[in-house]
Every structure is written in C-alpha cells, then in structure tokens.
Amino acid sequence: MTNATLIGSNKVTEAEVFQVPAVPFTRTFRPVHHKEVIGAIRTGIGALGLDVVKSEYVLAGNGMKMFGVWDLSTGNDELCWSVGIRNSMDKSMALGLTAGTRVFVCENLAFDGDFVELRRHTKGLTPEELEYMAYKAIRIIIGRLTAFQSWHEGLKKHTLSEDDAKIMLVEAIAQSVFPASKFPLFHDLYFSEAYGQTLWGFHEAATDVLRDANLLTLPKKNRVLNSILNQHISQIDIEPSPLGNFYERRAKLLQ
C-alpha cells in the first residue's frame, strides 16, 4: 500500500497505529482500538465495491487519538474520493467519518467538514456490531462524497472578482482557516493565476495553504472555508429587489 501525502504532526504507519497499547475496559466504557476501527471500516468499504488505494495516519494524545485519510478507487482521472476517519480511546471524541476529495494534479485534500458519528464507545459494542455500524456509515458517506464532489467541481463555474477574492481572504484569516502569516503564500498561489480566478481557484489555493495544517484540525478548517464560499454563492444567486438596488446606488453616491 502506498502512502498519500497528508498533513499533520505525528504521522505514522498503519502498523504503528496497530501497536498502540489497548485501553482496559470498564463497566461502562469499552474503548474500541484503532485497529478494530480500521478493520471494520475497510470491511464496509469493500462491501460497497470500493478499494482503499492510499492511506496515512496521525496520532495524538500518546496514541489515544487517531485520524486517518483513505483515498478510494473511483475511476476519476482528475480527483478521487477520500474518507477521513477519527477515533479516540480516551473519550475525547466519538468515532466518526467525514467525506472529502483529493485533486491529483496538486494533491490538495479537502473535506466537507462534518462527521458521521458511529457512536461513542460503550460496553455493548461488539466487533460484529462495529462492522455493521461502519457499513451503514459508509453508505451515508458515499452519498456525501457524491454531493461534495459535485459541489467541489461546481466551484469552477463561478468567476471571482479581485475585490471579492480579497474580501473572502480577509474572512478566511479572520475565521482562522489559516493565519495571517500565510497571506503571502495564498497571494502567490491565487493572484498569480496558478489556479485561475474562480471560486475553485480560491478553494484550491486555500487548501494548498492548508498543507501545513495539523491533520486533526483540517476538517474543521475546511468546514469554515466551505461556509465562506457558500455564503458568496448564496449572494450571487440572490436577485436584488428594487429597494435593494436603490440602497446599492445610494451607498455608491455616499462613498
């Protein structure tokens, strides 16, 4: 298995994930080992006729937290579906999956940012139940992957003026998608037309900047980024009313 190029500190191999010591069960808490999670989700993906072609993992909290990304075989020459997997053995977060895409030409990784939570670990969770839960979650994720790919590719049809791009850039920095120190990098990527003056280009430049982000925080940052783009799209689709046009003209006269 080849490794995908991913982001985040403490990158490890799958074998190292498997070697994390198990946490003892208690009367009310049955922590599911990362190895069990990986096996169950791989079974669910295989049951739907998909294969994992690339994978990589990060660990945090002395191995108690795991985040992995799997690229799936989808037959698309431009991008592939990716699935983000999170698990913890210390009650810090629920086992969950999130949908994403990876663009082959630049290796940029993006997520829709929302997780399908399987459930928190309890004493009643058997390996068989875990596999069934994983299968159901993967079925949901397949729908999300299709929708996210469509959204992602649909960004290409929206041109972006320089002023709007600058406004969105300020918003991305203000909402901590990436720090102000990354402004020169984003500027060089986007305004040099490396990606094109569209929402797709803005998104790709931003996800390129996020190569340096910790993989554990990437889905949340992507959710905020996607929200900023969707806000812009919603404004494009709104036809101003006569009163709205009046206010626009008045605002220009008062500038």
| pTM, two decimal places | 0.84
- Give the residue from 54, 96, 82 showing the smallest Cα distance to 148: 82
Cα-based angle 9, 13, 16 (whole degrees, multiple of 5): 100
Up-side HSE of residue 242: CA atoms within 13 Å toward CB?
0
DSSP character string of 5-22: ----SSEE-HHHHHTSPP
253's torsion region: left (phi>0), alpha (psi -120 to 50) or beta? alpha
Tens-place pLDDT, residues 76-96: 788 899 999 999 998 888 889
The domain spans of the chain are 2-154, 158-253
Instruction: Please compute the mean of the pLDDT values over residues 3-28 and round it to a whole number.
Output: 77
Per-residue pLDDT, 235? 83
Q: Under a CB-based contact definition with an 8 Å cutoff, are residues 111 and 220 in contact? A: no
Tens-place pLDDT, residues 106-136: 889 999 999 998 876 666 677 788 888 899 9
How far apart are alpha carbons 73 and 34 in whole angstroms?
Answer: 23
Q: Under a CB-based contact definition with an 8 Å cutoff, are residues 85 and 67 in contact? A: yes
How far apart are alpha carbons 147 and 133 in whole angstroms?
Answer: 22
Tens-place pLDDT, residues 174-207: 999 999 999 999 999 998 877 889 999 999 999 9
